[in-house]
Amino acid sequence: MEMTEETKDAEPRLLKLKSKFSVPPPGRFIFIDPEDHFENTGNTFAVLVQKSVSHRKANGIVVPDNFPEIIEDWICRQIPASFIKDAPKNYDTVKRIILTPTVVQKATKAVLYGWRDGGRRFVDKDELDRRIGVCSKCPMNVDSSSCKSCNGMFAWIEEWFGKSDEDAKKTLRICRVSGILNLSHVYVPVKGLEIATAQHMIAKHPEHCWKRQLLDQTPEKKNADTT
């Protein structure tokens, strides 16, 4: 069977950077090791690989022969296609954000400001429990090296809200779509969420997401709601 370009793109393959000397977003090389979620960083690709190999060896984790290629592929799957050599057709140029502490803090701060500017109100207990239930079962509710226990960030949210749900702390981590600490936006009414959420981000959430269902104002959704 002749190998077409479409067939090639359909096959799993390790992606390559156009240049390992061109620093991709967010301004440094980052690799979050899938084995233990440890975040390795480096100002160059070579330094990143060296640190990642050292981390695995120090923690008794197997280092495969093609580990540099695995790291390179992981990076490619987080960044725009313009940085990738021979990016597959229909490649999603808006990939997952890298959950650095700065990203998580900035995203969560936007929610807190939205809550403040929206009147400092909270959703009722039934709605809170519903949102917590959805987030806790969502595959986008993820751990990160930015928030191994999240206790420090939970305390930060408590300073703002004056309270937090103890059970929620056991299950809620970070939204993989937005970078928001989930313990924050589950409390915030629609008005505050509208202030804090960019319109283009809404549809990136899974269809089962309570936030997407509340904020989705596409023409199709509006028509469905009025029929």
The winner for highest mean pLDDT among 92-101, 133-142, 181-190, 198-207 is: 181-190
Least confident interval from 119-133, 140-154, 174-188:
140-154
User: Residue 58 — pLDDT band, cuts 50, 70, 90?
Assistant: very high
pLDDT of 67 reads 96
pLDDT of 7 reads 39
Q: What is the mean pLDDT of residues 7-11?
A: 41
Same domain for 134 and 196? yes
Same domain for 144 and 180? yes
Same domain for 152 and 114? yes
C-alpha 15: how far from its chain's center?
Answer: 20
pLDDT of 11 reads 43
Instruction: Please give the radius of gyration of the chain, using alpha carbons only, rounded to the nearest integer.
Output: 20
Q: Identify whether the C-beta of residue 218 lies closer than 8 Å to the C-beta of residue 203.
A: yes
pLDDT of 92 reads 56
Q: Evaluate whether residue 96 is within a structural domain.
A: no
Q: Evaluate whether residue 95 is within a structural domain.
A: no
Q: Evaluate whether residue 9 is within a structural domain.
A: no
Domain that holds residue 30: 14-85
Same domain for 118 and 150? yes
Task: Please indicate whether residue 69 or residue 205 has the higher confidence score (pLDDT).
Answer: 69
Same domain for 50 and 108? no
Q: Evaluate whether residue 222 is within a structural domain.
A: no
Same domain for 33 and 71? yes
Q: Evaluate whether residue 75 is within a structural domain.
A: yes
Q: What is the mean pLDDT of residues 30-50?
A: 87
Number of domains in the chain: 2
Backbone angles phi, psi at 144, to 5 degrees: -155, 155
User: Is pLDDT of 20 > 70?
Assistant: yes
Task: Please indicate whether residue 8 or residue 158 has the higher confidence score (pLDDT).
Answer: 158
Residue that is written with structure tokens 């156009």 in the block? 18
Q: Which pTM value belongs to this model?
A: 0.59
H or E element that contains 156: helix 151-161
Q: Evaluate whether residue 4 is within a structural domain.
A: no
* Residue finishing a domain among 33, 53, 85: 85
Same domain for 123 and 212? yes
Euclidean distance between CA atoms 220 and 199, whole angstroms: 15
Task: Please indicate whether residue 134 or residue 76 has the higher confidence score (pLDDT).
Answer: 134
Backbone angles phi, psi at 214, to 5 degrees: -80, -35
Same domain for 51 and 127? no
Same domain for 53 and 107? no
User: Is pLDDT of 36 > 90?
Assistant: no
Same domain for 150 and 177? yes
User: Is pLDDT of 40 > 80?
Assistant: yes
Q: Identify whether the C-beta of residue 165 lies closer than 8 Å to the C-beta of residue 128.
A: yes
Q: Evaluate whether residue 2 is within a structural domain.
A: no
C-alpha 23: how far from its chain's center?
Answer: 20
Same domain for 110 and 157? yes
Q: Evaluate whether residue 5 is within a structural domain.
A: no
